[in-house]
A and B are shown apart, each in its own frame.
Chain A
C-alpha cells in the first residue's frame, strides 16, 4: 500500500544517510600572541640588590591560576626598571618585548601603586617622542607594604590630557597587560 511504502521510506532515511562518524582531531593551536611571562627587573641606581617581580601563566587566560611573585624594595631609593615579556609556549620562548617595541606608537605602559610616595618616570619614547615605558625609573619613599600594578594599553590615545605624564584616566584603548605585584618597602 502507498502509505506503507512511504513509511518504510521515512524510517530508512536516517539509517541510509548517516553512519557513525568520528570528528577529526584538531590541530594544535600555536598561540604566538600569548604573553605567558612578565619580569620587571628593578636595579638600584646606586648599587645594591636587584629585585625581580614576575608573573607566569603558561596556559593563558583561564585554566590554571598564574604564579605571581613580588619583592622587597629599599626605602628612599631610585631603581632603574626594565620590563621583559615572553611567550613560553613557543620553543624557544619568543620575546614579546620586541613586538611591543616594534609597535611602540600603539603601546604605552602605566604604573600605579598603593605604596605612599612611590613615583615612576618614563625612560624611553616611541618614534613620535611620546612615552612608552619598557624602560622606566622608580623611586621609593618611606617603609610601607602594598602593591605595584603594571598596565599595558594597546592603542591608547597618547595625546589625551595627562597620558604623557603616566595618568591612565583618559588613555582608552584595550588593556593587554594588567598585573599587580605585592611589594614591601623596607
Chain B
C-alpha cells in the first residue's frame, strides 16, 4: 500500500519544468492537489529535509521554497487526514512540481481492506504474491500453490488438479474468486477449479477456523483469489506476460490493461494457453494437452467518497485432455493397466491434438458490489453475483458418439450478500452479514447415459457475525453463524419406465469459532483457535447412482446421510527474532463426526462390461491432524534459505483404519541468491537478480492399508528445480525475465495423489522461460 502511494507520487511528478537558475539560488514551486477531487489542497506542510526549510500551501494549493542549493533532496509532505509522504528529487535548476496526495477519506476503503488483512494476521494463512503468480503463468491455480506448506494437489494427469489444504478438498474446501464462492462441480476428484490465477494480484490460503465469514462453515480452509483495487493511475498502463514451457510445448500469454479516472476505472485481463502432450521422464503422455482462453473485466467507480461500486466479470474456458491409456473399461482392464510399465496407446510422437477422453468446461462469473461508507467507522456492502458453470466430459464411444458428451452438466448459481462493518473505539470491530446462494444444476439428456448425479435446485441462506477485540497483548476473535439449506432433488431411476423420485431436504447448520491471539513478546505471537461447524451431505453423496467411468467403479449414494459435525483446533506460533530469521509453526487437529466417504464394498457387480467393484457413500468418525512448519533465514546479505515441512495423518476412528487420499508428508527447501544492487552484464543493466535452487522431497504414504486402494502407494520421490529471474533495464522500460527448470534430474516418479499414477509416471523435466513487460 505505502509502496503504491510512493510510486504514485513519483509518477505524479508530472512536470518538472526546467527553468533558469544558479547554484544555491534555485527556486522550487509546487501545487498540491487532492487526488480524488483534483482540487488544490491548502495547509499542506511542505518540509525540505536537508536544509530544514519548511512552508505550507496556500488556498490555491501552491507553495514556494527559495534559495535552495543544487543537490539531492527529500521533500516531506504532511496534511491532516493524510499520511506523511516523502519524495526524492534531484535539483539543478528552478523546478516546478505537481504533487497529488491521497486523502484519507478516499482511503476508507483501504482502511477496511487493511482491517481485513489484519484479520488474516489473526489466523494462520499463507499468500502468494503477484510476482510469483506472474512467474508461474504456466501453472494452474492448484499448481501455483503446490509448494506452499500444507497444500497438496489431487491430480488427474498434468493439467487437471484440485488443491488439498491440510487434508481437505472438494466439497470441504471453499474457494472464493473475487469474494464469490466458486460454484461448480466440486464433488468430482478429477474436476479442477475453473479459475484463471492470472487475474489475481494475491492468492491467500486461510488455514484457521475463521472461515466462518466466508461461507457455509465446514471448517476446511479457504482459498481467496483476489485482484487488487485498480491503481489510481490516470494513464493507460498494463503488462504483457509470456511463457513457454518445453514439457507439453506450452505457450502461455497474459495481457493486462488498466486505466483510472474519477469517472470510471477499468482493468481488462486476458489469458491464452495451449499445451500438447506432456511427457514423463521416458515417454509421452498421449492426449494430455490442454487449451484455455480467459477474459476478465473489472470496473470501479466511487461517488462523493462515500459510495464505492465495483463490477467484475470473467469468463473461463478450457479443454483438458485425459491420458488415453487411463481410460479403461472394467476391473480386468484396470488390473491389466496397473501391471504395465508404459500405458496402452502410448505413441512415439508429440501432438497438440485433443481427443476423447477429454473435458470441456466453461465458467462465467459476473459480480456487482456496492460499498457505502456511512462515516469513518461504519460501512455496508451489498454483493450480488451470478455464475454459470458448464461441464462436458467426452469418452471414447461407439458409432460416432465420441462427439456426444458422456456427462453434461450445467449449473447456474446466484449469490446475494450483505455485510455491515463497524469499528468501535479501542479497535473493536464488528461484522454482521448474510449470505444467500441459489444453485440450479441440470443434466443434459443428450448424453444418452444415466447421469451420475441427479438434477437439483438448492438454496441456502446464512447469517453470521464476527467480532474482534484487542485487550492489551491479547486479541479476541469471535464468530457465530447459522445457515438454512433446502435441497430440491429429482432423480431418475434406472428401471425401464425411468420413474422419477423427488426429495426435499432441509438442513439447519450452526457454527461458531473462538480465536485468541497472544503477543508473547515484540517478535513472538501465538494464536489458538477452535471452532465448531457442520457440513450438509452434498448431492453426489446422497444420490450418486451408477458407473463412475473415471474411477472404474459403481458409486451409490445414500439418501439417509446426515450432516458432518466437526470440531477443529489450530495452534499457530510465529517467531521473528530478527530480519534474518523467521519461524512459523501450525498444528491442527480436526475431529469430524459422521465423516462422509466412499467405502469400497465386498460386492463385485456383474454388468455386460464385466465386473465392477461397488462403492457406497457411508459415514464414520474421523480425525485429521497435522503440523505445518516453515522457516526463512538469511545466510549472508544476499543468500536466503527456506524450509517447509508438512506432516499429516487422517484416521477413520470408528474402524481404526487410515483415511484414503490423505497427502503424504513432504519437505521443501530452497536456497536463493538475490542482489538488491543492480549489476551490468555487457551493456545490459540488471536489477533484482535472483537465482534459486529448490528441492521437494515427498515421502511415501505408508498410512494406508493394502485393500483400501487399487494399487499400493508409490515410493517416496525427490524433485530438484532451479529458477533464475531478473529485471532487465531498458532506456524507457523494464522487462522481467525468468527461466526455470522443474524436475531437473528428469526423475521418473509417481505421486500418491495423482490418479494417473495407476497408469503412468508423472511429468519429466521441463524448462519454462518467460518475459514480463510492464508499461
CB within 8 A of A10: which of B333, B422, B463? B463
Give the complex CA separation of A174 and B380 in angstroms.
58
- Point out the residues of chain A lying under 8 angstroms from B455, CB to CB: 23-24, 26
With a 10 A CB-CB cut-off, give which of B448, B545, B606 has the most chain A CB atoms: B606
B488 within 8 A of A: yes
Mask, B362-394, CB within 8 Å of A = 1, is 000000000000100010100000000000000
Q: Decide if B642 is an interface residue (CB 8 Å cutoff).
A: no
State which of B374, B432, B451, B545 has its C-beta within 8 Å of the C-beta of A62: B545
Nearest opposing residue in chain A for B379, CB measure: A6
We find that the number of chain A residues with CB closer than 8 angstroms to chain B is 56
Contact (Cβ within 8 A) A18 B488: no
CB 8 Å contact bits of A134-156 with B (1 = contact, 0 = none): 00000000000000000100110
With contacts A23-B488, A29-B492 taken as known, whether A154 is within 8 angstroms of B607 at the C-beta atoms is no
Residues of A within 8 A of B677 (CB): none
Contact of A17 among B330, B438, B445 (CB under 8 A): B438
The B-contacting residues of A in range 55-97, CB under 8 angstroms, are 55, 57-63, 65-66, 68, 89
Pair B609/A23 contact, Cβ less than 8 Å: no
Q: Which of A2, A61, A63, A100 contacts B495 (CB 8 A)?
A: A63
On whether the beta carbons of A61 and B609 are closer than 8 Å, the reply is yes
Q: Are B396 and A21 in contact (CB under 8 A)?
A: no
Q: Is there a chain A Cβ closer than 8 Å to B758's Cβ?
A: no
Instruction: Decide yes or no whether B612 CB sits under 8 A from chain A.
Output: yes
A29 and B449 contact, CB distance less than 8 A: yes
Chain B contact residues: helix, strand, loop or mixed = strand
Whether A178 and B332, one on each chain, are in contact in the complex, defined by CB atoms closer than 8 angstroms, is yes
Alpha-carbon distance between A90 and B101 when the two chains are bound, in angstroms: 75
Q: How far is the CA of A21 from the CA of B490 in the complex (A)?
A: 12
For B518-560 the 0/1 string (1 means CB < 8 A from A) is 0000000000000000000000000001110000001010000
Known: A29-B449, A99-B399. A59 touches B494 (CB 8 A): yes
Residues of chain A from 30 to 70 with CB closer than 8 A to chain B in the complex: 30-33, 35-36, 38, 55, 57-63, 65-66, 68
Judged by a CB distance under 8 angstroms, whether B398 is at the interface is: yes
- The answer to whether A127 has its CB under 8 Å from any CB of chain B is no
Q: Smallest CB-CB separation from A9: which chain B residue? A: B418
Interchain CB contact under 8 A, A30 and B445: yes
Distance (whole angstroms) from the CB of A86 to the closest CB of chain B: 11
B470 an interface residue at 8 Å Cβ cutoff?
no
Interface residue? A28 (CB, 8 A)? yes
Complex contacts, A125 vs chain B, CB 8 Å: none
| Residue from the list A6, A60, A99 in contact with B607, Cβ < 8 A | A60
Known: A17-B416, A17-B438, A26-B445. 4 other contacts (CB 8 A): A6-B380, A62-B554, A172-B344, A177-B608
List of 9 A-B pairs having minimum Cβ-Cβ separation, nearest first = A178-B610, A175-B329, A172-B344, A14-B461, A174-B329, A63-B494, A23-B457, A59-B494, A61-B547
A–B complex contacts, Cβ < 8 Å, 6 sampled: A6-B418, A14-B434, A20-B486, A172-B325, A175-B609, A176-B398
Which B residues have a C-beta under 8 Å from some C-beta of A? 325, 327-330, 332-333, 344-345, 374, 378, 380, 396-399, 401, 414, 416, 418, 420, 422, 432-434, 436, 438, 440, 442-443, 445, 447-451, 454-457, 459, 461, 463, 486, 488-490, 492, 494-496, 498, 500, 545-547, 554, 556, 605-612
